[in-house]
Amino acid sequence: MDQIAFQNVYQTSTNRGTFNLGERAMTPDGREWQFTTASEAIANSSAVIPAAAVDTDLWSSSTDNQGRIVYTNRAANSLTVGAYEFGIGVVNQGTGVGQTFKIRTNNATQLTLYPETALGTALAVADSDLVYLVMSKVRPAAVTSKLQMCQGANQVAFASADYGWILTNGDGRGVVGNFTLVVGAGFTTGDDVVGQVQVSIITEAPLTAQNLGYAIVANDGADQGFLGRWITR
C-alpha cells in the first residue's frame, strides 16, 4: 500500500491532483485512508457514506476500434460530465443483466468503461437498466439507518466538491449523538443528526447494523466528539 504524509490527510483541495478516487494509502503511523470527493459539505469527524446510486433505463452500447463493448449510451442528455469517473456499475435488468463494469469517465450521454471490464453482451435500449455509483463520492451518513455502507470518517471538514482523505482503519475522531460511549463499546450509523454515530447494541447482527469500530476515549456528553478505532475497510 502506498504511503502518504500526515499533511495530506488533514487538508482538502478543490482539485483532484495526482490521486485517483478510491485510492487507498497509509500514513506513517499505520492508519489507512481512502481518497474521496464530497457530494455536499461534510462537518469534521462525520461518518460518511457513498452518494446515492443512479438507476436509469433506455441504455444501448457500442464498441471501440478493437470490438470491445466499452461504451454504454443513453439518448437522454442526463449525465453530469465527469461525475462518474472511477465509478462502478451493474446491468440490473433486461438484456445483459448481471454484467458489472468500472467507469473510466463519462460525458452527458455516455459512460466509457475500462476495457478490462468491457461488457460481454450488448445492451438493448428497449429493456437494459443500469445502476451505477462512485463509492468514493461521499456524503454524511443519514439519520436512523444502521446499514449505509459507511466508508469511514473524515478528519477535516469538506466543502461540497472538495477532494480529500477519509480514515478507514485506525484511530480517529467521530461524533456521538444522544449517547455516551463506554470505552470499548462499538458504534454504528443511525443517530438523529447526519454524520453522527450511536452505540451498537450487543444483540445486533451484521444483517441489522454495520459495526464501525469501538471507542478508545469516550465522549463527555451528547453530540460531542470521541476517539475510536475505526474499522470500515
Q: Please report the pLDDT score of residue 164 as a whole number.
A: 98
3 state DSSP class of 6 = helix
Describe the strand order of the beta sheet including 110-113 as a list of residue ranges: 54-56, 129-133, 88-93, 100-106, 110-113, 69-74, 59-63
| Rounded (5°) CA angle 22-45-80 | 40
Q: Please report the pLDDT score of residue 76 as a whole number.
A: 86
Burial group, residue 76, by CB count within 10 angstroms (0-12, 13-18, 19+):
exposed
Q: Please report the pLDDT score of residue 148 as a whole number.
A: 94
**Could you tell me if residue 231 is left (phi over 0), alpha (psi between -120 and 50 degrees) or otherwise beta?**
beta
Q: Please report the pLDDT score of residue 48 as a whole number.
A: 98
Helix (H) or strand (E) holding 8: helix 6-9
Q: Please report the pLDDT score of residue 42 as a whole number.
A: 98
Q: Please report the pLDDT score of residue 207 as a whole number.
A: 77
Place of cell 468503461: 113
- The CA distance from 186 to 88, in Å, is 30
**pTM attached to this predicted model:** 0.92
- The CA distance from 156 to 46, in Å, is 9
Contact 215, 225 (CB under 8 A): no
Number of Cβ atoms within 10 Å of the Cβ of 92: 17
Residue 175 backbone dihedrals phi, psi, to 5 degrees: -125, 130
Q: Please report the pLDDT score of residue 233 as a whole number.
A: 84
pLDDT tens-place string over residues 71-119: 999 988 889 999 999 999 999 999 999 999 999 999 999 999 999 999 9
Class of domain 54-133: mainly beta
Domain ranges of the chain: 2-50+137-231, 54-133
Contact 128, 96 (CB under 8 A): yes
* pLDDT < 70 positions in the chain: none
Q: Please report the pLDDT score of residue 224 as a whole number.
A: 95
